[in-house]
Amino acid sequence: MLPAVVNQVVAVVGLGKVGLPLAAQVAQSGKTVVGCDTNPQVVATVNSGHSHIREEPGLDQAVAHAVARGRLSATLDTEAAVATAEVVVLIVPVLVDRDHRIDFSHLDSATRAIGAGLRKGCVVICETTVPVGTTRHRLAPTLEEASHLRVGRDFYLAFSPERIYAGRVFEDLRIYPKIVGGVDQESTAKAVDFYRDVLEAEVWPVDNAETAEFSKLAETTYRDVNIALANELALYGGSRDVNVAQAFRASNSQPFSRLHQPGVGVGGHCIPVYPHFLLADATRDELALPRAGRRINDHMAAVALESLAKELGGLDGRRILVLGVSYRENVKEMAFSSALALVEQLHAAGANVLVHDPLFTPAELAGLEAEIADLSSPEIPVEAVILQANHEMYRNLDWARFRGLKVVYDGRGVIDPNAVRGAGAKYLGVGIGA
């Protein structure tokens, strides 16, 4: 890491699961950071020296240290914070709805607030994952209109995708190369200088903002398509007496094969969302594989329930428990979780649905309109269990405690089949029949 620029002020707009760790990292480099957020509770928590994000190792300590040293503060007033800053990092969510329509409202609002406070010489960097061309054709005009300044002449604009995994943000900030592309060469150079100043990781400049935007969409779409391939292969192999887990393990012993884990579905803010950023402006003849991959992965919840229905003789009136509402293990995040599709489709099939997730309170699960299971009870009466998220507490379950249990569907390929069979139940999974 290069020596930090003394007294440089950085505004980080958006103090979510990526923005707050990034703000703490920048503060650790010696810069003064003002974090901006629209949530008063988030601002108050940060200013008290704490993190509102509980699942990120080391984050609470990093925030406490930065606040105590006067290197980090938070505010609701983005315009005022930007007016004091030499660098602005924008990282607020771009969402998609159930019909895959892209919602830019949070990004647009934050961009206008930045533009209102923007001053000459400032470097604005977007880290929010966006469709290709967004930085140049959406952010730049909005900033220019709000600030009455010109990009490339009065201020600089670049895109640098966040490349972190929840639960290990600080590690990822150290090891993954930081990709940076500006709307012009000088914007790229200034953004590269900033990241080399605050990160230990390599910083890779690319030709332009579009290349940087596309790099993030390509890497997440690769994972989505690979998971879809794994799901298709698992279903094919499982119908032909193949031990799918053994076959995948054997295939991956060759360095050119990297088959992913098949599963009951793909969730989170990234993998099920970002392919739609590519598909939004793709022609009918483009991106056939990503389009098919999305369709396959979205269908895996229905595949699981079809398998259960076959074993149970239908789902109507059956008591079925979904273990894990989070989209993945040990992370408190429900966005696009496969559990949502499972619960919705179970309700539609007439099942009596139970859910459990140790990371959420009953109030937080109330919207699912399902019975909250109590795993501390000596006996839990259910006919089927679907493991959707492999949380730590599920890894040594006593299946005999589930009274009346007939079937366990292993949605993540992690349960010991013999433990299930030893309790007198059938073991199912993706590509695994009874």
Q: What is the DSSP string of 171-230?
A: HHHHHSPEEEEESSHHHHHHHHHHHHHH-SS-EEE-S-HHHHHHHHHHHHHHHHHHHHHH
Q: For residue 426, indicate whether it is catalytic.
A: no
**How many angstroms separate the CA atoms of 91 and 117, rounded?**
17
Find where tokens 């273990």 sit: 323
Per the residue annotation, which of 17, 31, 178, 216 is the catalytic one?
216
Sequence-distant (6+) residues with CB within 8 A of 86 are: 5, 8, 9, 10, 121, 122, 123
Contact 183, 209 (CB under 8 A): yes
**C-beta atoms surrounding 418 within 10 Å:** 9
What three-state secondary structure class fits 134? helix
**How many angstroms separate the CA atoms of 398 and 423, rounded?**
8
**How many angstroms separate the CA atoms of 141 and 151, rounded?**
9
Per the residue annotation, which of 31, 270, 332, 426 is the catalytic one?
270
Cα–Cα separations (whole angstroms), residue 403 to 160, 320, 343, 423 = 52, 12, 21, 10
Contact 155, 12 (CB under 8 A): no
**How many angstroms separate the CA atoms of 36 and 88, rounded?**
10
Q: For residue 120, indicate whether it is catalytic.
A: no
Phi/psi of residue 82, nearest 5 degrees: -65, -35
Any idea which residues carry the catalytic annotation?
216, 270
